[in-house]
Amino acid sequence: MSFSHASLETILAMLVAVLFAIAGVVNLVGLGAVKRDFARWGYPAWFRSVCGSLELVSAALLFGQQTRVLGLMLSGAIMIGAVFTLLRNREPVGHLAPALVFSAFVVAAVVVRG
């Protein structure tokens, strides 16, 4: 079975959308570890909700063919901020690795989209 360019684009976009939806819910629910991380990074308490909301908006935009480019732009901006935060705070690889994987999927989705 071969995948067309369009189906690979859709698969990658849906994968990124699901990852961002999960991340958005995790940030909005804000269990103890998430709250502690945001506080340790120097962000105000409300910023976690903003991040979670933006992640959910990004996921929703990625699901639509007409809004996918906006979703990729927003998800890319979110990942730039996340990686910058993790590097600035010298977070261990355990925190940085998932952010780099998310970023790689966003980049792959952009490249396949063309």
What is the spatial distance between Cα 71 and Cα 48, in angstroms, rounded to a whole number?
19
pLDDT in tens, 52-95: 999 999 999 999 999 999 999 999 999 999 999 999 999 999 88
Which pLDDT belongs to residue 5?
A: 60
Note the pTM of the prediction, 2 decimals.
Answer: 0.90
Angle between helix 68-88 and helix 93-113 axes, rounded to 10 deg: 150
The rounded distance, in Å, linking the Cα atoms of 98 and 83 is 10
Q: Is the pLDDT of residue 1 over 50?
A: no
Question: Which residue would you say has higher pLDDT here, 24 or 7?
Answer: 24
The predicted model gives 93-110 an average pLDDT of: 94
> Is the pLDDT reported for residue 3 higher than 70?
no
- Residue of 67, 60, 68 whose CA lies nearest to 12: 68
77-10-69 Cα angle (round to 5): 35
Cα–Cα distance measured from residue 7 to residue 109, given in angstroms and rounded to the nearest whole number:
11
Cα–Cα distance measured from residue 47 to residue 18, given in angstroms and rounded to the nearest whole number:
21
- Per-chain mean pLDDT for the chain: 93
Question: Domain-by-domain residue ranges, the chain?
Answer: 5-113
